[in-house]
Amino acid sequence: MPSSADVARLAGVSRKTVSRVFNEEPYVSAEVRRRVMDAADTLGYRLNQTARALASGRTRTVGVVTLGTPGYGPATLLVSIERAVRDTGYALHVVSTMDGDPAGIASAVTSLLEQGVDGIVISEPVDEGKAAIRVDVPVLFLGAPPAFAAARTLTTSTGSELLARAATDHLLDLGHATVHHVAGPRRWYAARDRIEGWRAALEERRRIVPPVVAGDWSAASGHAAGRELARDDDVTAVFAAGDEMAIGVIRALLEAGRRVPEDVSVVGLDDMPVAAYVTPPLTTVRQPFDAAAREGLKLLVHAIENPGADLPAATDPPVELVVRASTAPPPSRAKSPSQGEISWHTA
């Protein structure tokens, strides 16, 4: 196997310079960095991570604790975290937990610490209570409040409250008097945040806040909620906390003879790939998985590599409303073509 000395010889630099390049140290010119990397590629040189860890005291690995579920949100966020970690040059270790296991987070974190990770990401969407552990590496809580003590605790938002406000505001802007909400399970932080965003949007505009209808993220729970809402003729707008529930709501409304969007408008949240292909295509708010993961990993890596430095200010993730054909003004606001106007809807 080629060594750093071989790379130095081919690039015409010292071994110390090769070390500086691979450890991403400053004060190396772009030209020298390019020559070293070209030489490494030519020789097939790969940095000895074990030696690097011994020299720096860091393994350049990040651990992730995530809920073991095929659900769209947690699974897609994990993929975004994997991409963000890879872009930082760190390696990744993932440990999954099970819903309903109060000791799951503590056990997962202990496993990651035994692997020598430099930092940990908690992408655990369910409230399992406080864990009785203390961690001596920086910990990023992504979309959740801190669940245990750490050497340095970081929190970043996935924007659930802002996304819910955008969905609710869209329906109010169309002229609906109020918006009904089909929520996710209350143990999920995102479900709570979306309730708060929906309620805040209604209260800010002095609208009636209807009772929350409980769901569990599934299309079946959305269908059950939709059947309940379809019995109330005053319901003209529904915001479901997830796309699968929104699809179930639409099915139930149509079965009850309520047209979407002519009678009732429906908005989801996620922008799952299937959302554009249901009937009618679903208006939804896109989750900024990649942006939230990049922002969080930027903070975590900064904390790992600069233990005593202040953290850069976190920014809110972007909000992107995707308007399709499941929303329109309420029946009293949509005039028929015979009145000289075309019924309003977004394709």
pLDDT of amino acid 205: 97
Cβ–Cβ under 8 Å, residues 344 and 323: no
Q: Which two tokens stand for residue 50?
A: 């074990």
| Closest C-alpha among 98, 147, 101, 99 to residue 122 | 147
Q: Judge whether 266 and 240 are in contact, CB under 8 Å.
A: yes
pTM, 2 dp: 0.80
Task: Evaluate whether 81 touches 123 at the Cβ level (below 8 Å).
Answer: yes
What's the pLDDT tens digit per position in 14-43?
Answer: 988 888 887 777 778 989 989 998 998 888
pLDDT of residue 339: 32
> Could you list the pLDDT tens digit for every one of the 347 residues in the chain?
688 888 899 999 998 888 888 777 777 898 998 999 899 888 888 665 545 544 555 678 999 999 888 789 999 999 999 999 988 889 999 999 887 777 888 999 999 998 889 999 999 889 988 888 889 999 999 999 999 999 899 999 889 999 999 999 999 999 999 999 999 999 999 999 999 999 999 999 999 999 999 999 999 999 999 999 999 999 999 999 999 999 999 999 999 999 999 999 999 999 999 999 999 999 999 999 999 999 999 999 999 999 888 888 778 889 999 999 999 999 975 444 333 322 333 33
Instruction: Please tell me the predicted confidence (pLDDT) of residue 47.
Output: 61
Report the distance separating Cα 264 and Cα 227, nearest Å: 13
Q: What is the C-alpha separation between 195 and 173, in angstroms, rounded?
A: 19
Give the helix/strand (H/E) hosting 91: strand 91-97
Look at residue 243 in the predicted model and tell me its pLDDT. Answer: 98
List C-alpha distances in Å: 17 to 20, 72, 231, 276, 318: 5, 45, 73, 52, 40
pLDDT, residue 319, reads 95
231's CB contacts (< 8 A; 6+ apart) are: 256
Residue 126: closest CA among 199, 198, 65, 214: 65
Residues, the chain: 347
